[in-house]
């Protein structure tokens, strides 16, 4: 199965989940997604998702000066982002349970 197609459908949720614990800047968020097991996530996809989530009013941003290079733009969940994370998390868990049930019923459990 091509995981890149699956990733497109859940990248918003994954980014919101990563930001639930701690604010982050683009590269840091991408690194945290990869450490979590989303190895196929691309730079452009993450940055595009961050811009879209910000424009949708789900994230706030702030700039932190860096002595080792350019300033870093940090992203943080706001209340609307937390609400969206909760709603999307429920949808994902329901969908995943349905798929698990389908696979289990067919003798394909992991």
Separation between Cα atoms, residue 22 and residue 9, nearest integer Å: 23
Within 1-110, residue ranges assigned H as helices are 3-21, 26-35, 43-55, 79-105
Task: Record the pTM.
Answer: 0.87
What are the beta bridge partners of residue 63? 73
Query: If pLDDT is split at 50, 70 and 90, which confidence band does 66 have?
Result: confident
Scan for tokens 């910000």, then name that residue.
54
Residue 4: predicted pLDDT: 73
Tokens linked to 30:
């991408």
**For the segment 36-53, what is each residue's pLDDT rounded down to a tens digit?**
999 888 889 999 999 999
């Amino acid at each position: 199965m091509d995981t890149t197609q699956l990733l497109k459908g859940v990248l918003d949720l994954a980014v919101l989940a990563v930001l639930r614990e701690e604010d982050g800047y683009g590269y840091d968020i991408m690194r945290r997604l990869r450490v979590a097991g989303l190895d196929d996530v691309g730079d452009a996809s993450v940055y595009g998702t961050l811009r879209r989530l910000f424009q949708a009013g789900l994230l706030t941003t702030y700039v932190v000066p860096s002595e080792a290079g350019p300033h870093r733009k940090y992203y943080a969940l706001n209340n609307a982002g937390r609400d969206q994370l909760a709603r999307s998390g429920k949808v994902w868990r329901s969908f995943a349970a349905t798929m698990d049930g389908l696979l289990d019923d067919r003798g394909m459990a992991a």
